Amino acid sequence: MKKYDAVVIGAGNGGLVAAIRLLQGGAKVLLVEKHNLPGGFATSFRRGRFEFEASLHELNDFGTKENAGDVRDLFDSLGVTDKIEWLQIPEAYRVIVKSENLDATMPFGVEEFIAKMESYVPGSKESMRKFFDMAEEVRLAQAYSSSVNGNTDSKVMVSKYGNFVRSGSYSVNEVLRVLKMPQRAIDILSAYWCYLGANLEDMSFVHYASMVNRYIRRGASMPKMRSHEISLAMVSRILELGGDVLFNTEAVRILQDEKDGGVAGVVLDDGTEIRTRHVVANCAPHLVFGKMMQKVSEQDVRATNARKFAGRGFTMFLGLDKTADELGIENHNYFLYDTSDSVRQYERMRTIEDNSVQATVCLNRAYPECSPKGTCMMYFTTLYMSDDWGNVKAEEYFKTKDTVANKMIDRFERDTGAKIRGSIEEISVATPMTYARYCGHPEGVIYGYESQYWDGLMPRLLMMGEDHTVRGLRFAGGYSMRLSGYSSAYFSGDISGRQTVGDIKREG
């Protein structure tokens, strides 16, 4: 029987990093992935003469060599940064809420961002500066928390990171109101909320501040060969370090120790049994506790049932046979909303009928050579805040998909004035069914568990220790302690990988 120190289930962003960390810690590692490619959502696909990015809009908190973000630091220590060719995203975002005459294009750099905001909303400067100061303190507090694996000293927290602690229990809107930020500035600043998938009354301030701060302060990056380049770079690193990787191989069961109920092994889809005492699961606890393990404690069942799925994904990919200039696509990253009231917007995002929010990217605006000369490509993403796609029968599926895709094209043309419909050479659409198929996520969820007030970033980080309920089982990826998104998933793999190295060492 094959024996490993640890098995990593799922080669998504979290699983890939966890595998590297385990190998760096001296463990013998098997990584299994049910799809034939690594990366989970971090991949690409070809259609005609285009190679589409499957999911990455930009990699947050990467920065440059001179102004390195935490993700770059992580990639450096994993030994993968130089395996990837990076390019910088030119500007932060453009937000359009046509019904409210809001149309703002925001730059990278804290000073530049504050100045641009002041030009749109005179009198916003002071509150914006407070926001970024607090946000930087959040980042430093998180770095401290990570460095001590979540075992923070409350004296240190209060004395060095007081604002972080005092704001740590509030929602985004609660804090921004205390800062007396003008509503218009709040609307522009919070355009990014749909990337985190919870409305601003429910989303914890520190979570949002942490992300926006990293994004604006460090800029954002993109691998030239789409996120597939990152995923293959990680696999190549795993192989260099002596890890084993199996694709088209699903882990169907986690075997449990008779005595302590902890991990004893993993059964693969062809019946192969792997002996191991450690698993890092880069998948939903719903799947692990719902079907991969036989004996699950009532506590784990209750805790898993208590959690709420975050957004289910929908993305349309277009390859266009004209350039962005010719089509009138001016920006890299657009957010198009019906209203800047995120609570109302969130409600509208529950159903297929009402949802017409989109986050849209034209990759050529960051990397003009990403598609053949004379062409450009775009991707349009939205989220569904309920299981409405569960109501769509197979026979209605293709029509429903086309209806949503058409709505996205119309909306983009109407809000931006660009004309794209007549130039579509390739189109591909991914729905919750697509995400369910490739990554196995329940309901086609792409954002893990929702960052609801009670289950936000802070309480998850603070409870990392007690969430570890099964000996030898740790989680990585969008469902785990750092929540969803590329950088979060990478960090979760880093944390769970290192913790598992510790677990192995303690066992001797």
User: Hey, which residues between 301 and 330 contact another protein (CB under 8 A)?
Assistant: 301-307, 312, 321
- Residue 126 and residue 203 in contact, taking contact as beta carbons nearer than 8 Å: no
| Residue indicated by tokens 């119309």 | 410
Q: How far is the CB of 170 from another protein (least distance, A)?
A: 6
Instruction: Say how far apart CA 492 and CA 481 lie, in whole Å.
Output: 7
- Residue 467 and residue 481 in contact, taking contact as beta carbons nearer than 8 Å: yes
Q: Based on CB atoms, which residue is closest to another protein, 104 or 232? A: 232
Among 226, 277, 278, 365, which residue interacts with another protein (rule: CB under 8 A)? Answer: 226
The DSSP code sequence of 460-471 is HHHTHHHH--ST
Task: Report which of 89, 337, 94 is spatially closest to residue 200, judged by C-alpha positions.
Answer: 337
Q: How far is the CB of 339 from another protein (least distance, A)?
A: 26
Range list of β-strands (E), 63-183:
86-88, 93-97, 102-106
* Site string (429-448) toward another protein, x via CB under 8 A: ---xxx-xx--x-xxx----
The DSSP code sequence of 20-46 is HHHHHTT--EEEE-SSSSSBTTS-EEE
Task: Report which of 429, 420, 359, 418 is spatially closest to residue 389, judged by C-alpha positions.
Answer: 429
Task: Report which of 263, 258, 363, 359 is spatially closest to residue 313, judged by C-alpha positions.
Answer: 359
Question: Cβ–Cβ contacts within 10 Å for residue 322, how many?
Answer: 17
Task: Verify binding: residue 183, another protein, rule CB under 8 A.
Answer: no
SS3 169: coil
Identify residues 330-389 at the interface with another protein (CB under 8 A): 387, 389
Question: Cβ–Cβ contacts within 10 Å for residue 298, how many?
Answer: 7
110-118, 192-200, 349-357, 396-404 -> range binding another protein (CB under 8 A):
396-404
Instruction: Say how far apart CA 60 and CA 484 lie, in whole Å.
Output: 12
Task: Verify binding: residue 286, another protein, rule CB under 8 A.
Answer: yes
Q: Based on CB atoms, which residue is closest to another protein, 110 or 427? A: 427
* Site string (46-85) toward another protein, x via CB under 8 A: xxxx-x----------------------------------
Strand order in the sheet with 102-106: 102-106, 93-97, 333-336, 358-362, 376-384, 312-320, 424-430
Task: Verify binding: residue 45, another protein, rule CB under 8 A.
Answer: yes
Q: How far is the CB of 197 from another protein (least distance, A)?
A: 17
Q: How far is the CB of 97 from another protein (least distance, A)?
A: 26
Buried b (16+ CB within 10 A) or exposed e, 356-392: bbbbbbbbbbbbeebbeeebbbbbbbbbbbbebbeeb
Identify residues 405-424 at the interface with another protein (CB under 8 A): 405-406, 409, 423-424
Q: How far is the CB of 386 from another protein (least distance, A)?
A: 11
Within 8 A by CB and 6+ apart from 11, the residues are 19, 31, 32, 33, 35, 38, 39, 40, 231, 235, 245, 247, 282
Q: Based on CB atoms, which residue is closest to another protein, 48 or 328? A: 48
4-12, 67-75, 172-180, 189-197 -> range binding another protein (CB under 8 A):
172-180
CA angle 210, 213, 214 (to 5 degrees): 85
* Site string (112-131) toward another protein, x via CB under 8 A: ------------------x-
- Residue 317 and residue 44 in contact, taking contact as beta carbons nearer than 8 Å: no
User: Total binding residues for another protein by CB under 8 A?
Assistant: 95
21-29, 195-203, 339-347, 461-469 -> range binding another protein (CB under 8 A):
461-469
Task: Verify binding: residue 228, another protein, rule CB under 8 A.
Answer: yes
Task: Verify binding: residue 155, another protein, rule CB under 8 A.
Answer: no
Q: How far is the CB of 445 from another protein (least distance, A)?
A: 9
142-150, 232-240, 257-265, 327-335 -> range binding another protein (CB under 8 A):
232-240
Q: Based on CB atoms, which residue is closest to another protein, 156 or 505? A: 156
SS3 435: helix
Q: Based on CB atoms, which residue is closest to another protein, 444 or 485? A: 444
Q: How far is the CB of 468 from another protein (least distance, A)?
A: 13
Identify residues 244-283 at the interface with another protein (CB under 8 A): 246-249, 270, 272
Task: Verify binding: residue 37, another protein, rule CB under 8 A.
Answer: yes
Task: Verify binding: residue 237, another protein, rule CB under 8 A.
Answer: no
Q: Based on CB atoms, which residue is closest to another protein, 92 or 329? A: 329
Q: Based on CB atoms, which residue is closest to another protein, 110 or 178? A: 178
Token pair, residue 250, equals 């699903």
